[in-house]
Structure 1
Amino acid sequence: MAKKIIFFLYFLLIAFSSAKAKMLIIEPKAITIRTFNNAKIDSLKKIPDFDYREDIVAETASLWQRFWNFVWYFFRKLLFDESTSTGRQSVLIILGIACIGFVIYKVLQMDNASFLSGTATNNPDFYYNKIENINELNFDEEIKKAISNANYRLALRLLYLKSLKELSGKNYIVWDASKTNSQYLRELKDQNMREQFGRLTLQFEFAWYGNFDLNQTDFSDAQQEFSSFQEQIK
Structure 2
Amino acid sequence: MKRLIKYIILFVFVCVGNVTWAEEGERESSLFPDSSYVLRGPKADFLEKYRKDAAFDYTTNIEDSPSIWDWIKRWILERLFRIKVSEGSMQTMDIILKIVLGLFALGIVYLLVRNRDKFLFRRRETDFFPEDSVEYTGEQEADSFVRLLAKAEQENDYVLAIRVSYSALLQMLDKKEVIRWDVSKTNQHYIYEIKNEMWSRHFEEISRIFDCVCYGEFPVDETAYRNIKRYFTEFRKEVEG
More relative contact order, 1 or 2 (CA 8 Å, 6+ apart) = 1
TM-score range, shorter chain: 0.3 to 0.5
TM-score, structure 1 normalization: 0.45
Determine which structure has more spread, i.e. the larger CA radius of gyration.
2
